[in-house]
A and B are shown apart, each in its own frame.
Chain A
Amino acid sequence: MDVVLLSRVQFALTIGFHYIYPPLSIGLGLVLVIMEGLYLKTGLAIYHQLARFWVRIFGLIFAFGVGTGIVMEFQFGTNWAQYARYVGDVFGSPLAAEGIFAFFLESGFLALLLFGWDRISKRMHFFATCMVCLGAHFSAIWIIVANSWMQTPAGYHIVETAIGPRAELTSFWAAVLNPSTLDRLWHTVMGAWQAGAFFVISVGAYYLLRRQHLEFAKTSMRVAFVVAMVASLAQLVSGHDSAVTVAAHQPAKLAAFEGVYETGPRADLTIAGWVDETNRTVRGVKIPDLLSWLVGFDAATVVKGLNEWPESDRPPVQLSFQLYHLMVAIGMTLILLAWGGGLLAWRGWLFERRWLLWIYVFAVLLPQISNQVGWAAAEIGRQPWIVYGLMRTADGVSDNISAGNVLFSLILFTLIYLALLVVFLVLLDQKIKHGPRVEDMPRTGEVVS
Chain B
Amino acid sequence: MIAETYAVIWYLLVGVLLAGYAVLDGFDLGVGGLHLLARGDRDRRVFLNAIGPFWDGNQVWLVTGGGALFAAFPHVYATAFSGFYVAFILLLFMLIFRGVSIHVRSLRAGAAWRSFWDWAFSVSSLLASLLIGVALGNVAWGVPLTAGFRYQGDLWQQIHPYTVLTGLLVVAMFLMHGAIYLVLKTEGELNARVRTWVRPTIIAFIMLYVVVTMATLLYLPHMADPFREQPLLFLLPAFSVLAIANIPREVHHGREFRAFLSSAVAMLLLLALFGVGMFPELIHARPDPALSMTLHNAASSTKTLQTMLIMAAIGMPLVVAYTFHIYRVFQGKVKLDSMSY
Q: Which residue of B lies closest to A439 (CB)?
A: B338
Stretch of A99-107, A271-279, A308-316 lying at the B interface: A99-107
A416 contacts B66, CB within 8 Å? no
B72 within 8 A of partner (CB): yes
Contact A95 to B71, CB < 8 A, known contacts A100-B64, A119-B330: yes
A117 within 8 A of partner (CB): yes
Bound Cα distance A69, B71 (Å):
18
A71 contacts B92, CB within 8 Å? yes
Residues of B within 8 A of A (CB): 52-54, 56-57, 59-60, 62-68, 70-72, 74-75, 77-83, 85-86, 88-89, 92-93, 95-100, 102-104, 107-108, 148-153, 297, 300-301, 303-304, 307-308, 311-312, 315-316, 319, 322-323, 326, 329-330, 337-340
Bound Cα distance A59, B339 (Å):
11
Residues 354-389 of A, flagged 1 when their CB comes within 8 A of B and 0 if not, give 000000000000000000000000000000000000
* Contact among B75, B80, B82, B108 for A430, CB-based, below 8 A: B108
- The B contact surface, by secondary structure, is helix
A169 contacts B304, CB within 8 Å? yes
B304 contacts A70, CB within 8 Å? no
Bound Cα distance A121, B149 (Å):
54
A100 contacts B107, CB within 8 Å? no
Q: Which of A370-415 contact B (CB under 8 A)?
A: 398-401, 405, 408-409, 412
Q: Which residue of A lies closest to B53 (CB)?
A: A111
Which residues of B sit under 8 angstroms from A104, Cβ to Cβ? 57, 60, 64, 315, 319, 322-323
Bound Cα distance A98, B60 (Å):
10
A82 CB to closest chain B CB (Å) equals 7
A111 contacts B330, CB within 8 Å? yes
Which residues of A sit under 8 angstroms from B72, Cβ to Cβ? 92, 96
A223 within 8 A of partner (CB): no
* Contact among A76, A93, A405 for B311, CB-based, below 8 A: A93
A390 CB to closest chain B CB (Å) equals 15
Which residues of A sit under 8 angstroms from B148, Cβ to Cβ? 163-164
Bound Cα distance A116, B329 (Å):
8
Which residues of B sit under 8 angstroms from A399, Cβ to Cβ? 150
Bound Cα distance A306, B85 (Å):
38
Which residues of B sit under 8 angstroms from A405, Cβ to Cβ? 85-86
Bound Cα distance A78, B59 (Å):
19
Bound Cα distance A37, B51 (Å):
29
A115 contacts B53, CB within 8 Å? yes
Interface residues on chain A, number (Cβ under 8 Å): 74
B70 contacts A77, CB within 8 Å? yes
* Contact among B74, B95, B337 for A70, CB-based, below 8 A: B95
Bound Cα distance A117, B72 (Å):
40
A425 within 8 A of partner (CB): no
Which residues of A sit under 8 angstroms from B315, Cβ to Cβ? 97, 100-101, 104
A219 within 8 A of partner (CB): no
Stretch of A83-91, A293-301, A327-335 lying at the B interface: A83-91
Bound Cα distance A312, B260 (Å):
60
B70 contacts A163, CB within 8 Å? no
Contact A100 to B312, CB < 8 A, known contacts A81-B79, A110-B56, A400-B153: yes
Which residues of B sit under 8 angstroms from A105, Cβ to Cβ? 319, 322
A-B contact pairs, 29 of them (CB 8 A): A67-B100, A73-B70, A74-B66, A77-B81, A81-B81, A81-B82, A85-B149, A87-B74, A93-B308, A95-B67, A100-B311, A100-B319, A105-B319, A107-B57, A109-B326, A111-B52, A115-B53, A120-B329, A162-B297, A163-B148, A163-B149, A168-B304, A169-B304, A169-B307, A400-B150, A409-B89, A412-B89, A416-B97, A437-B338
